[in-house]
Structures are given as C-alpha cells and as structure tokens.
Amino acid sequence: MKIRLLVLLFITFAVAAFGQEKFKLYHPEADAQKDINEAIFKAEAANKNVFITVGGNWCGWCKLFHELVTSDEKIKNYLADNYIMVHVNYSKENTNEKVLKNLEFPQRFGFPVFVILESSGKRIHTQNSGYLEEGKGHSPKKVLEFLQGWSPNALNPENYKKK
C-alpha cells in the first residue's frame, strides 16, 4: 500500500512539474526592448502592428490566453495576418521595469495585459485582458473584435473618407 501511494505521489508531482515546464513563453533573461525593436522593424516591413503580451509563466490567465490564440484558427490567422507578437516577461526574476515604464505602466491592469504599437513603434492602445474574459477563459468573440479594432486596416484613415 505504501509503495502504491509513493508511486502515485511521484506520478502526480512528475505530471505537475512537466506541466510547469511546458509553458515557457515568457523569458526573464530576454532583452524585452530588443525584442520589441525587432518586432517594430518586422511590423513596418510587413504593414502590421505590434501586439505585446505582458505576463509570466506563473500566470494562469496568460496560459489560457495563449491556448485560445493558438488553438482558435480564426484568431490565430488574424493575429498572424495583422500583428507581430512579442511576449514581455513580468516576474520576480525580471519585472522589465524600464520597458514597462516606456509603455506607460500597463501592469497596472494586471496580467496578462496587451499593448498595441503601430509599426512606427508608437503605443496606440493598452488593453486590460479582464474585459475580454468570459466564464473561465477569454471570449473568442471579444478577443477577435479587440484584434480587429486595433488592426492596421481599422486604423487606416483611407477607410473613413467620405465617398
């Protein structure tokens, strides 16, 4: 009986440890400003905006958002067509204080928090992810509407000229 209990405990801890290691989107050692600068360069060349997700590997809502945007084909494709995505770490190892100051302190909204930059690097929106939640996750409809509302096409003044 004791051996079975020990084996069960070992398996439980092994599964939990594997699950923690699996989610590694946020890297405390990364140079967040360099990553953002590279994304801006790519966005300008591709006529896209930059979508910054600030969060951490410790963040359950960050995991849920990542699962949504990588499993929902419509959202996944819309992101790929309109944005260059960057993950900025916020953790006890690295709070990226200087980068977040430059982004006007998005962490005030909790995590994950989303920042949209034009391809020029100008911050145009910060989104509290709580407004995109529904039930025990993020609403696919609300997330897609949010992405559509801040896409390069939505912000193109030519689309709003009187005809």
Bridge-based pairing of strands 133-134 and 123-128 is: unpaired
| Euclidean distance between CA atoms 42 and 62, whole angstroms | 24
Over the stretch 94-142, which tens digit does the pLDDT of each residue have?
Answer: 999 999 999 999 999 999 999 999 999 999 999 999 999 999 999 999 9
Query: Is residue 2 in some structural domain?
Result: no
Query: Is residue 11 in some structural domain?
Result: no
Query: Is residue 162 in some structural domain?
Result: no
Bridge-based pairing of strands 83-89 and 49-55 is: parallel
Query: Is residue 163 in some structural domain?
Result: no
Q: Which of 133, 132, 152 is nearest to 51 (CA)?
A: 152
Query: Is residue 10 in some structural domain?
Result: no
> Strand (E) positions, 92-156?
113-117, 123-128, 133-134, 137-138
The one-letter amino acid at 52: I
Q: Which residue segment(s) compose the domain that 134 sits in?
A: 24-151
Give the chain's domain count. Answer: 1
Over the stretch 59-85, which tens digit does the pLDDT of each residue have?
Answer: 999 999 999 999 999 999 999 999 999
